[in-house]
Amino acid sequence: MTQTILFLCPHSAAKSVLAAAYFQRLADQHQLDARTTFAGTEPDTVISPAVAELLQSEGLDMTGYTPRCVTPAELAQAGRVISLGCDVSHLAPSELKLEYWDDVPPPSQNLAVARTIILIRVEQLVAELKREASENC
């Protein structure tokens, strides 16, 4: 069964986009049965141009990447919810286990550092999911 990983950041335009793009690339490379999505609580109208340029320069397809508002149903259905500076306590079901990656600086202040931290965290997440998948076989 495909697990959904939901990445959240307030504007759904930078940190969550980076995390979702990197996660999906690594999940596909490792043949994990997982898909990713991203959202926010106060979405911008477009993806950060600097983030879009970075991801496209790394060969990641940005087609279909549009900031959007997270829904309570989406929070309830996700296999994992990871917040990058986003407060969804007012929307989340009480049983939701929310992970926080609050050590990521705003990409608008330092895109290279934000990218590095997110990529390291995503690599750790993929490794953890691979271990879990192998234990369940």
> Residue 87: its pLDDT value, please?
87
Burial 27-51 (b: 16+ CB within 10 A, else e): beeeebebebbbbbbebeeebbeeb
Crossing angle for the helix pair 49-57 and 15-29, nearest 10 degrees? 20
| Tens digits of residue pLDDT in 77-132 | 999 999 999 988 888 777 888 999 999 999 999 999 999 999 999 999 999 999 98
The residue ranges of every structural domain in the chain are 3-135
For 3-135, which CATH superfamily applies? Response regulator (3.40.50.2300)
Q: What is the pLDDT of residues 18-56, one digit of tens each?
A: 999 999 999 999 999 999 999 999 999 999 999 999 999
Q: What is the pLDDT of residue 137?
A: 66
DSSP 42-97: S--SS--HHHHHHHHHTT---TT----B--HHHHHH-SEEEESS---TTTS-TT--
